[in-house]
Structure 1
């Protein structure tokens, strides 16, 4: 068939437009193509990676759905274009019903932006080829032309089909009340998004929270899950009654919001983008270090998010932070180098005692033993773990007066997240996440588990572990915006949360709570 040859031809136009009148068979044709192109055994040249029926969608909501299918947490059309540009793998996208889109012109702009990349192919269905797409010189299959149709098969289908052009989503529903949390959580989220996009009213803070949470609300989920996401994204300038309403609606979602800080919050203040989190230990227990986009390290109370101050020295390009047992902070910069800072929450020696402190502190000695460029960092007890771009994890440990080093190749590609736990017998357990989408477990001095703890077709962006009263827990942040929480030693089902933005950082706390950091917010959740 011509469309399959077009997919295989490297010199063909990057856009194919399937056009024709209502009930000419466009939907049937694309349904057949999607079925053929998503089979497990389909060859790479014919595989489809994304399919979004555009009826009722704007460029924003179409971007959210495409991002989810492509393993990204893009929040805007621009974010989606950037994510597709960065991933050079072949990407084929089907976009039916352009003529039923909520804002066809903005969707056409998105299509044109995606069509710039050589590794992208787009199949767009519309009744007539719009001017914006004509400028791309696309391949066109006008199903009104006899050359594209088998008249006998088409007649059989047309006689049995109820409708080949489905009504846009939400067209049969009454308009939601955009000021009412129960209404917006319980109806078609695409319709809600389109109405919030067009509205200039803040709707008590619901509009900002909805657009901040993005694709976490338009993906398939329950009203309770939508309420939880909205609750987490709600700013401090919102109608205070919304918190109680959303808390009630979120019952059954698996989580409760302990506290949150979102962009623009003043009291208490938002600490900035949470690109990395480090949980205090020993003398700094109860503190969490938050690293922003400028490399500034701020300290907050784990219990309620109250500010504890900031460290005086920024680390430009900082990508990870970890507390040592002695209260020091190891910070990893964008060049893979470690630097040391001292937490403001640890009492400092004064007078004669400060003059007599000549020996290097444990964390200082451990960091001095790091000899490789690092891509990830964790501290546990008397050990510092770091990963590199080749997938190897190294652990530097204090062994009396000497430094011991262990290393293990655990991933294909870069190590992107590390977490450590000090076990009762004094040994250390290391969890690692990688660009290869695997989470591994390893104890230095022993062979790692042969199989991954978790594996997805998606990179790990953040990792954290904690010893809680109910046993060890592990929190994983994934590139597609999913946060996964699980008890390591039990077979209990994991819990999940999607903030709607790319997950930059996670933190597991000893009381069982977790913290999730994005560019827009920092939220603390407790399992419910």
Structure 2
């Protein structure tokens, strides 16, 4: 059943692990469209049932087609060692999924089985064994057999990324900080908010172990950190699920108080800060930069602004993502850049940016589970990016000062370094 859900979710452009999640995600799809779903033949009975359920949604017209299914990829018991990372990464993913799902003995196969079942929607896509090894490595918990981890590292040497560190549900040596709702950086630290508004400082950006905790409050949608350029803890700004602004830490500056008052009447949908401004997105596609010199506004999106990021060097630059699938850049007080930084036919769900010596690095995640890191630099063609799919839905991103990327989901926090 898992493979059927993952296959259908990939073709619908959503992330789902269960039939219920698949139907919910498809129901929230805005566009009325016809979707032709092509699955290996013969179709398992549960696949036909799922497609029939999707057809009842009304705004989707689902057509079921077939494609050839190579023997190695068929959903049948695997004729290879399911404890061997190299064999698992090279085998047909539908066969691996069927074999792991059919097991009832509780054997985790060196950590491979739970990792595969966690990240399977990414793993069943067509890809090289090195890319599959990277996804499995990022999904391992610290209870996995060290030999499994070492082998996956060797297999993933040819991938676009290396795993710098990870923290996951089930880890014992580094307790899981909880489902990630928002990430940012501030005061030289990586900051993480969970769904209930508890903010954890994860030490230096190169570490993944919580060392400070700010108690919870409202359910959080976005997190930003105001720093005054001096040492000490940043002032935390949290946007709750109702679009209201909350302040933790030092007393709120007058500007922040004014923005919070405004959002009481006109709720925001996303949040970011620069050295001199608080930036808020709204449901109509507009971005508002509240600064000492007044209010600057731009309307870069059709539909809700779902994510914001900002950098200060050499001048303030705001990045926005929306339900229209685009990421655009804008300097408050100036015109928005004509061409988008990125565009895909799926809503943007997370965004973060950080300055580098050659220009800002921008990370973006879309609703279908894809993460992209755009890095400027000599010899890189416009729009070149590193891509990663963790498997579960991406909730938040953070670009660290050294260029590493932190990806947050409901089950893991993973730090990747681009090669």
After TM superposition, the score normalised by the length of structure 1 is 0.72
Deviation at 1:336, TM superposition (A): 0.7
Q: Deviations over 1:24-58 (max 9, x none)?
A: xxxxxxxxxxxxxxxxxxxxxxxxxxxxxxxxxxx
Aligned partner of residue 81 in structure 1, secondary structure: helix
- Structure 2: distance between partners of 1:323 and 1:71: 32
1:468 is matched with which residue?
356
1:398 is matched with which residue?
292
- Structure 2: distance between partners of 1:455 and 1:166: 32
Aligned partner of residue 468 in structure 1, secondary structure: coil
Deviation at 1:365, TM superposition (A): 4.8
Deviation at 1:299, TM superposition (A): 1.9
- Structure 1: distance between partners of 2:38 and 2:130: 30
Deviation at 1:106, TM superposition (A): 2.8
Aligned partner of residue 264 in structure 1, secondary structure: coil
Contact map agreement 1:366 1:397 (CA 8 A) in 2: no
2:33 is matched with which residue?
90
Deviation at 1:121, TM superposition (A): 3.8
Candidates 317, 320, 333, aligned match of 1:429: 317
Contact map agreement 1:254 1:527 (CA 8 A) in 2: yes
1:412 is matched with which residue?
302
Deviation at 1:166, TM superposition (A): 6.4
- Structure 2: distance between partners of 1:84 and 1:180: 36
- Structure 2: distance between partners of 1:179 and 1:166: 24
2:47 is matched with which residue?
107
Deviation at 1:412, TM superposition (A): 0.4
Q: Check 1:454–1:125 CA distance in 2 against 1; reply closer, same or farther (3 A cut).
A: closer
Q: Check 1:451–1:506 CA distance in 2 against 1; reply closer, same or farther (3 A cut).
A: same
- Structure 2: distance between partners of 1:494 and 1:362: 39
Q: Deviations over 1:467-491 (max 9, x none)?
A: 1244320000111101000124663
Candidates 171, 174, 179, aligned match of 1:273: 179
Contact map agreement 1:325 1:382 (CA 8 A) in 2: no
Candidates 337, 341, 347, aligned match of 1:449: 337
| Aligned CA-pair RMSD | 2.4
1:35-54 alignment, distance < 5 Å: none
Candidates 231, 236, 246, aligned match of 1:329: 236
- Structure 2: distance between partners of 1:187 and 1:315: 45
1:319 is matched with which residue?
221
Q: Check 1:417–1:190 CA distance in 2 against 1; reply closer, same or farther (3 A cut).
A: same
- Structure 2: distance between partners of 1:174 and 1:220: 18
Contact map agreement 1:328 1:363 (CA 8 A) in 2: no
Q: Deviations over 1:116-147 (max 9, x none)?
A: 32234444579xxxxxxxxxxxxxxxxxxxxx
Deviation at 1:167, TM superposition (A): 6.3
Deviation at 1:81, TM superposition (A): 1.4
Aligned partner of residue 126 in structure 2, secondary structure: coil
- Structure 2: distance between partners of 1:430 and 1:183: 45
Q: Check 1:482–1:66 CA distance in 2 against 1; reply closer, same or farther (3 A cut).
A: same
Contact map agreement 2:393 2:409 (CA 8 A) in 1: yes
Q: Check 1:166–1:323 CA distance in 2 against 1; reply closer, same or farther (3 A cut).
A: closer
The aligned length equals: 404
Deviation at 1:220, TM superposition (A): 1.1
Contact map agreement 1:297 1:314 (CA 8 A) in 2: no
Contact map agreement 2:72 2:91 (CA 8 A) in 1: no
2:367 is matched with which residue?
479
List alignment gaps of at least 5 residues for structure 1: 1-58, 127-163, 344-358
Candidates 172, 178, 181, aligned match of 2:85: 181
- Structure 2: distance between partners of 1:175 and 1:212: 22
Contact map agreement 1:469 1:511 (CA 8 A) in 2: no
Q: Check 1:95–1:255 CA distance in 2 against 1; reply closer, same or farther (3 A cut).
A: closer
1:357-372 alignment, distance < 5 Å: 361=253, 364-365=256-257, 367-368=259-260, 370-371=262-263, 372=266
Q: Check 1:517–1:199 CA distance in 2 against 1; reply closer, same or farther (3 A cut).
A: same
- Structure 1: distance between partners of 2:359 and 2:122: 30
1:21-420 alignment, distance < 5 Å: 59-87=1-29, 89-94=32-37, 100-101=42-43, 104-124=44-64, 168-170=71-73, 175-200=79-104, 201-280=107-186, 284-285=187-188, 287-301=189-203, 302-316=205-219, 318-326=220-228, 327-342=234-249, 361=253, 364-365=256-257, 367-368=259-260, 370-371=262-263, 372-399=266-293, 404-420=294-310
- Structure 1: distance between partners of 2:135 and 2:79: 22
Aligned partner of residue 10 in structure 2, secondary structure: helix
List alignment gaps of at least 5 residues for structure 2: 229-233
- Structure 2: distance between partners of 1:509 and 1:319: 20
Q: Deviations over 1:355-381 (max 9, x none)?
A: xxxx85366456447443110101121
2:408 is matched with which residue?
517
The structure number with the bigger radius of gyration is 1
After TM superposition, the score normalised by the length of structure 2 is 0.90
Q: Deviations over 1:382-423 (max 9, x none)?
A: 211110001110111135xxxx21111110001011110112
Deviation at 1:62, TM superposition (A): 2.3
Contact map agreement 2:255 2:292 (CA 8 A) in 1: no
1:156 is matched with which residue?
none
Aligned partner of residue 334 in structure 2, secondary structure: coil
Deviation at 1:234, TM superposition (A): 0.2
